[in-house]
A and B are shown apart, each in its own frame.
Chain A
Amino acid sequence: MALAQITSVSGRAVYVPGNDIDTDRIIPARFMKCVTFDGLGEFLFYDVRKNADGSEKPHPLNEARFKGATILLSGLNFGCGSSREHAPQAIQKYGFRAVVTEGFAEIFFGNCTTLGIPCMVAKREDIARIAEAVNSDPQLEVTLDLSAREIRFGGQVVKATIRETDRDALVNGRWDAIGELLEGRAAIDATAARLPYLAA
């Protein structure tokens, strides 16, 4: 199964401000009563985007000018809390292809890489600059460059980082590890044989 080599992501961006945005907020638990991930995109950030009667609250994702954005910007410790992969699945199914924040919670970050969603970390002031630029021109193209470890927008360039193991996996098209894990069969058996508690 050949995977795409994800070396860069270009597109329009939207800024959802806030620190410690947890996965319950990204996808409330009641939408996880499902046996597939289909259709999760429409419930992304549901309770902060919609009122109980289904009408819209003020939220960047509800603004027409940000429809079609593929890069999500936010604050510190994004994706904290529950390990639910439903959160990155909802982000991806909504149409996002990359996330840039001041920092990620670990399980969320790993889940994103596994789905081929690059999560890059940038400094607060740099995210503020990108946010300011896209807020004044929502059509502005923003480019995440995983090789150069930078983000380019409107003639400006800021530095961005991504954990090296995950950067490597994305740019070399091995972000879904299953193929490589399966190839380790002999080594798995050898390791398992040394652990008494695994005996059948």
Chain B
Amino acid sequence: MPQSLFQKVWDAHAVRTLANGQTQLLIGTHLIHEVTSPQAFGMLRDLSLKVAMPHRTFATVDHIVPTDQFAEPFADPLADAMIKELRRNCAEFGITFFDRSTGKQGIVHIVGPEQGITQPGTTIACGDSHTSTHGAFGAIAFGIGTTQIRDVLATQTMALGRLKVRRINVNGRLRPGVYAKDVILHIIRVLGVNGGTGFAYEYGGEVFDRFSMEERMTVCNMSIEGGARAGYVNPDDTTYAYLKGRPYSPKGAAWDAAVARWRSFASDPGCTYDDVVTIDAADIVPTVTWGINPGQGISINERVPDPQAVSGDERTSVEEALAYMKLPPGAPIKGTRIDVAFLGSCTNGRLSDFQEVARFLRGRKVAPGIKAIAVPGSQGVGLLCAELGIDRVFRDAGFEWREAGCSMCLAMNPDKLVGDQLCASSSNRNFKGRQGSPTGRTILMSPLMVAAAAVTGTVADAREVFAVGDR
């Protein structure tokens, strides 16, 4: 019987059925970082347990690292204690740590693929909801809590119920100036922020067939913003080409065997899905959020909703969101003045994100009074940008070019909004207070739209600002 990738990977990793009916699932790759793991190591010590498979556990530091200070100790003693604790835990339990001194540090969801650790047909868990990113390679990858991190450390398994699978086809061709970020913001807008509860999303169709691995990662990354714990794309030649030659990719004869095996995990033609949704690429436009969750998105040329035009619950949530965002009901979003432009994060902090922006940013300047920061997602991305002269383009335009980390996506480091500053952001969440100020405001958008906002000082249509269609 034809099977989906999800079924095949699940069955290959199912250890046994637990008493409550959940599956004991083997987690082939466990990624950890400094924020959600220290308590898990504490629990491990309390129970006198060891790490079951240290060679399948990989650590990096991303959330709390300052992006403007490389030297330690960090100015923030709490952050400094966290990096030291991770170092201690990795040393004690024999775990590979991509520390800052290795040149391989970065956001965990950028480092895994970059190192070739993220591979098709595998299971990947990490104490971070954006672990869904790794699904771009045809892996089943999901975020877990700290007690589950303990479970995976101690047993390399965890208890989990099987997910349903929703196939999302995006057919046709994206128009110029429309990016992977717009695709996922559109999907979340259509299906809702909780539409994916209980599902893994399988993304496919012509748009995904043509997408690079980095574009696939951007979409899979925000699956959780649509309520889906996991999202994936079937592996294909694009996947194998990306992985070839990476540090942890199989080499020589093992490479050919691995590719054959990876290929076998792709969903079979004619397999059944629990649900199928089809979207026409031509309907997707540059999308920006106007509210306080990622489903509250509109086209750059639309107006924000008017609470009077909707009723009941929806009116309450529109009112709450507009009050927080300080946006007048029914106003155009285009032209809204911004204070900060943030380019980076596990959603859009990869080489191609900076490369695409640099193509249009050359010769332009950040508008006066706007704080614009560009934060490569990993030291590897930073290095490539330097080699290609991309960092110079950003610096010349007036962006601050920083060291790798999560930075202002969640502002656990010194990169924070101040007061009610409005940020044009390439990150993934526009929740109240997300970017470090309890009254700070976030508008999510694609990297090129962030650049357009930076150079105009307002929420703008990148297609107009950079004459995108003419290039």
Contact = CB atoms under 8 A, between A and B. Distances in A.
Nearest to B123: A195
B216 interface: no
A32 B157 contact: no
Interface string B114-128: 000001001000011
A185 B157 CA distance: 10
Given A36-B38, A77-B227, A177-B18, A24 B433 contact: yes
A106 B227 contact: yes
A200 B18 contact: no
B55 A176 contact: no
B145 A83 contact: yes
Given A29-B410, A80-B227, A83-B129, A181 B24 contact: yes
A101 to B, nearest CB: 11
Interface residues of B, number: 80
A76 B42 contact: no
Given A30-B412, A80-B194, A84-B36, A187 B24 contact: yes
B16 A182 contact: no
A124 B197 CA distance: 18
A191 B128 CA distance: 25
Given A24-B432, A33-B82, A105-B197, A195 B145 contact: no
B24 A37 contact: no
Interface in A31-89: 32-37, 47-48, 52, 76-77, 80-86, 88
B85 A177 contact: no
Contact of B194 (A20, A52, A114, A195): A20
A144 to B, nearest CB: 18
- Residue among A29, A115, A187 with the highest chain B CB neighbour number at 10 A: A29
B259 interface: no
Contact of B154 (A82, A181, A187, A192): A181
B43 to A, nearest CB: 8
Interface in B208-250: 224-225, 227, 229
A176 B147 contact: yes
A18 B36 CA distance: 27
Contact of A184 (B63, B157, B224, B317): B157
B47 A178 contact: yes
Contacts of A35: 38-39, 42, 81-82, 85
Given A30-B411, A33-B412, A106 B229 contact: yes
Contacts of A192: 26, 53, 156
- Residue among B14, B129, B145, B158 with the highest chain A CB neighbour number at 10 A: B145
A165 B21 contact: yes
B131 to A, nearest CB: 8
- Residue among A25, A85, A177, A180 with the highest chain B CB neighbour number at 10 A: A177
Interface string B36-61: 10110010000101001101100000
B148 A169 contact: no
A47 B438 contact: yes
Nearest to A33: B78
A164 interface: yes
Interface in B323-370: none
Given A24-B433, A106-B227, A106-B229, A196 B85 contact: no
A17 B143 CA distance: 27
Contacts of B127: 83, 85
A189 to B, nearest CB: 9
Given A165-B21, A181-B157, A188-B157, A24 B39 contact: no
Given A28-B438, A111-B147, A19 B38 contact: no
B38 A24 contact: no
A52 B440 CA distance: 12
Contacts of B194: 20, 76-77, 80, 103, 105
Given A191-B13, A192-B156, A81 B145 contact: no
B36 A83 contact: yes
Contact of B39 (A36, A88, A111, A163): A36
B412 A115 contact: no
A4 interface: no
Contacts of B142: 107
Contacts of A34: 78
B154 A30 contact: no
A147 interface: no
B424 to A, nearest CB: 19
Contacts of B145: 83-85, 88, 107, 110-111, 114
A198 to B, nearest CB: 6
B14 A191 contact: yes
Contacts of A194: 12
B443 to A, nearest CB: 16
A168 B17 CA distance: 14
26 contacts: A19-B313, A29-B436, A35-B85, A47-B438, A80-B194, A81-B431, A82-B410, A83-B36, A103-B194, A105-B197, A107-B129, A107-B142, A107-B145, A110-B144, A110-B148, A111-B147, A172-B20, A178-B47, A180-B19, A184-B16, A184-B155, A188-B15, A192-B156, A195-B28, A196-B261, A197-B122
Given A28-B433, A36-B38, 9 more contacts: A22-B431, A36-B42, A47-B432, A85-B145, A110-B144, A174-B20, A181-B155, A184-B16, A198-B53
Interface of A: 18-20, 22, 24-25, 28-30, 32-37, 47-48, 52, 76-77, 80-86, 88, 103, 105-107, 110-111, 114-115, 163-166, 168-169, 172, 174, 176-178, 180-182, 184-185, 187-188, 191-192, 194-198, 200
**5 tightest CB-CB pairs across the interface, nearest first?**
A85-B145, A111-B145, A83-B143, A35-B38, A33-B78
